[in-house]
């Protein structure tokens, strides 16, 4: 599998990929971060100053996609650069078209999975845990809310980045099939259901804490939880994002607190 590129090079690229937006700019967006992440591969493949300069110029062109999906494109690009170095005709010419054709679709997938569902879902989990343990004898337990939210989000994030880079390098253009194999669409469906469930739990935790007599009744509170969970499922089904629902809950809680 590894001919000229070594596993250590890919690991260096993987680590550097987390800095892809550190030099984001309005003209070419993520191009500097993209080129910077590829430096370990370029250093391995090319030995002369001129070759390395040409390598960087190729990858300092416009680039923009979802940060978590960028390593998959990096893997394909490294695959093509290696094939070019091994003498395969036409490999170099494919690089720009590969980047152009993959940026948009992967950005759409990444935005949908990470920004619109996973991030608000993990945030709601963190808030719910913090509310649940806010009156605990040991207040430090509530800190586990944001910690757990951070871990859930980033475990999925680092896995998708790592697998995308490695499979992109191993399989080249066939990475499209690998991404389909991630079952990200199925993950979105599960996140929708889980988000509705957690949002329902959040409602059941927030409103009784407002000292409103209606919500202190356990029966009413249970009915509230079940009702809003199904309402949230319906809202998610018609593509109202969890972020919108969550902020609506906060706004409603504030209104109930100061009106009733």
Question: For residue range 182-233, what is the model confidence (pLDDT) as tens digits?
Answer: 555 566 666 666 666 666 666 666 555 545 555 555 555 556 666 666 676 6
Closest among 204, 195, 194, 173 to 77, alpha carbons compared? 173
pLDDT score of 39 more than 90? yes
Instruction: Assess contact for 209 and 183: CB atoms under 8 A.
Output: no
**Which tokens go with 162?**
């790592």
pLDDT score of 56 more than 60? yes
d(CA 203, CA 224) in angstroms, rounded, equals: 8
Residue 147 phi/psi, 5° resolution? -65, -45
Q: How many helices (H) and strands (E) does the chain have?
A: 12, 0
Q: How many CB atoms lie within 10 A of CB 259?
A: 6
Confidence of residue 89 (pLDDT cuts 50, 70, 90): confident
Predicted local distance difference test score (pLDDT) of residue 154? 94
Question: When comparing pLDDT for 230 and 180, which is higher?
Answer: 230
Predicted local distance difference test score (pLDDT) of residue 145? 82
Q: How many CB atoms lie within 10 A of CB 63?
A: 22
d(CA 4, CA 85) in angstroms, rounded, equals: 9
The region of weakest confidence among 113-117, 126-130, 248-252 is: 248-252
What is the percent of the chain where pLDDT is above 90?
Answer: 36
The region of weakest confidence among 91-95, 155-159, 227-231 is: 227-231
Average pLDDT over residues 244-257: 68
d(CA 233, CA 242) in angstroms, rounded, equals: 10
The residue with tokens 């809202």 is: 235
Question: When comparing pLDDT for 166 and 131, which is higher?
Answer: 166
Predicted local distance difference test score (pLDDT) of residue 100? 86
Predicted local distance difference test score (pLDDT) of residue 205? 60
Instruction: Assess contact for 38 and 71: CB atoms under 8 A.
Output: no
Proportion of the chain in helix, strand, coil states, percent, rounded to 5: 80, 0, 20
DSSP β-bridge partners for residue 29? 25, 63
Predicted local distance difference test score (pLDDT) of residue 128? 73
Q: How many CB atoms lie within 10 A of CB 178?
A: 17
CA 15 to chain centre: 16
d(CA 101, CA 64) in angstroms, rounded, equals: 11
pLDDT in tens, 130-152: 777 776 677 677 778 888 889 99
d(CA 124, CA 118) in angstroms, rounded, equals: 10
Confidence of residue 108 (pLDDT cuts 50, 70, 90): confident
pLDDT score of 40 more than 90? yes
**Which tokens go with 203?**
């409602």
Confidence of residue 235 (pLDDT cuts 50, 70, 90): confident
How distant, in Å, are the alpha carbons of 30, 32, 212 from that of 232?
Answer: 36, 41, 23
Average pLDDT over residues 16-36: 94
Average pLDDT over residues 7-21: 96
């Amino acid at each position: 599998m590894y001919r000229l590129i070594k596993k250590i090079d890919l690991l260096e690229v993987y680590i550097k990929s987390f800095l892809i937006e550190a030099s984001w700019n309005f003209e070419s967006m993520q191009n500097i971060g993209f080129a910077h992440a590829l430096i370990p591969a370029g250093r391995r493949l090319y030995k002369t100053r001129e070759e390395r300069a040409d390598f960087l110029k190729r990858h300092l062109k416009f680039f923009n996609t979802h940060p978590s999906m960028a390593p998959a494109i990096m893997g394909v690009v490294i695959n093509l650069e290696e094939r070019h170095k091994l003498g395969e005709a036409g490999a170099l010419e494919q690089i720009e078209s590969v980047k152009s054709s993959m940026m948009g679709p992967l950005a759409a997938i990444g935005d949908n999975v990470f920004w619109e569902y996973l991030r608000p879902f993990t945030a709601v989990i963190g808030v719910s845990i913090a509310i649940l343990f806010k009156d605990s004898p040991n207040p430090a337990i509530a800190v586990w809310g944001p910690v757990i939210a951070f871990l859930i989000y980033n475990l999925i994030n680092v896995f998708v980045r790592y697998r995308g880079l490695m499979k992109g390098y191993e399989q080249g253009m066939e990475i499209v099939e690998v991404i389909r194999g991630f079952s990200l669409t199925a993950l979105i469906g599960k996140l929708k259901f889980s988000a509705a469930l957690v949002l329902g739990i959040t409602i059941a935790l927030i409103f009784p804490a407002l000292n409103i007599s209606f919500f202190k009744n356990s029966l009413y509170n249970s009915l509230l939880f079940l009702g809003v969970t199904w309402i949230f499922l319906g809202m998610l089904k018609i593509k109202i994002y969890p972020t919108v629902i969550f902020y609506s809950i906060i706004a409603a809680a504030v209104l109930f607190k100061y009106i009733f």
